[in-house]
Amino acid sequence: MDVAQMLRGLATLSWVVAVAVIGLAVARAARGRSFKAAGAIVGGTVVAAILLTSVAAGLVFIRPEERGVVISAVAPGGYHPESLTPGLHWVIPFFENVVIYPISRQTYTMSIAPGEGNVPGDDSVEARTSDGQIVRIDASVIYAIDLDRVVQVHIEWQSRYSSDLVRPIARGIIRSAASQFGVEQIVTSQRDALTDQITSELAASLEENGINLVEFILRNIAFSDEYAASVEQKQIAEQLAQQAAFTVEQRRQEAEQARQVAEGLADAAVIAAQGRADARLIEAEAEAQALEMIAAALADNPELLTYQYITKLAPGIQVMLVPSNAPYLLPLPTLEPSITPTP
């Protein structure tokens, strides 16, 4: 409790005491009893009440988050040109009074949800976009009275600056800015641009009237039921298209994988065939070298062929057929057993 409020309380108490003493004196007089001290008590309390009331009427305490505008019956123009700063001040009792204005940040909210905004019910801003779609915009304006222009705000708007200045200017600028964008731009790539444009225009307009814009908040954008349904259908179609594209890509990857597998198998077959061919070539070269060695051996030792021929014959051979016109390769042994004469 500040000093001015305390003095007002004491002044009120003094008037109550004076009235009580007067009532007590009247009651005692009605009963034929005197109350000699009543006059002095009443006079003292009345004087004290008048003094306390006068002092309390002249003292004004301004809090740090406030400024005071002095309305004067004796000052030129009816007011003091400078607002009262925080602290205890003295004004002329009964000829001057002080109107207190907050200088702290204030928020004015316009919302589609009942109970969220400053105005009960749906207080969102209905606007039409450049392509003819209707949108409902929820927004909040955070602002503060300019410290150096509190007196101007009082003269021009009094306590109506919130409802008669901030609200209509903000709604008008929001509608004007929204009309310069398409509905899809507002909700996608150009939402920040819309917010920046509203902030710039709103700050300039409020500044002309002694209000500083702290921040403009674009809370939400709602569409008509018809447009919302069309957006939902479009999103469903886009999701289906994306799914189809994903399926096509999956099939393409599967085909590419199968092609790569086939190429791998073909490369493996080529490599295997090449390996077999190389093996045959090596084998043929080995055989050729063996034949060359055999031929060289036969050339140096012709009887080696007869020896090889003999070693290949079975040990118990009895008959051997040869062509009639073919020469004998070697002398044949006698196949019939010899007959020993009996003496």
Split at pLDDT 50, 70, 90, the class of 147 is very high
* CA Rg value for the chain: 59
Would you call 89 helix, strand, or coil by DSSP? Answer: strand
User: Which has more pLDDT, 191 or 300?
Assistant: 191
Most confident of 27-36, 66-75, 218-227, 333-342: 66-75
Structure tokens at 253: 């990857």
* Res 341 pLDDT > 60: no
CA–CA separation, 168 vs 165, rounded Å? 6
Q: Give 217's contacts (C-beta < 8 A, 6+ positions apart).
A: 139, 140, 141, 142
Would you state the pLDDT for residue 188? 80
* Res 150 pLDDT > 90: yes
* Res 263 pLDDT > 70: yes
Considering the chain, what is the average pLDDT of its residues?
A: 81
CA–CA separation, 201 vs 174, rounded Å? 9
Q: Choose the weakest-confidence range: 13-17, 63-67, 174-178, 207-211.
A: 13-17
What is the tens place of the pLDDT at every residue in 202-252? 999 999 999 999 999 999 988 877 776 666 576 667 777 877 788 888 888
Split at pLDDT 50, 70, 90, the class of 327 is low
Would you call 213 helix, strand, or coil by DSSP? Answer: strand
Residue 242: exposure state from Cβ atoms within 10 A (0-12, 13-18, ≥19): exposed
Taking residue 331's Cβ as centre, other Cβ atoms within 10 Å add up to 6
CA–CA separation, 274 vs 238, rounded Å? 53
* Res 331 pLDDT > 60: no
Query: What's the whole-model pTM score?
Result: 0.60
CA–CA separation, 122 vs 126, rounded Å? 10
Give yes or no for a contact between 152 and 210, defined as CB atoms under 8 angstroms apart. yes
CA neighbor of 4 nearest in space, from 109, 110, 84, 121: 84
Detail the DSSP E strand segments found in the chain: 59-62, 66-72, 87-90, 96-102, 106-110, 125-128, 134-145, 211-223
Residue with tokens 């085909």: 255
Give yes or no for a contact between 191 and 135, defined as CB atoms under 8 angstroms apart. no
Would you state the pLDDT for residue 335? 46
Would you state the pLDDT for residue 58? 83
Structure tokens at 216: 């403009």
Would you call 145 helix, strand, or coil by DSSP? Answer: strand
* Res 141 pLDDT > 60: yes
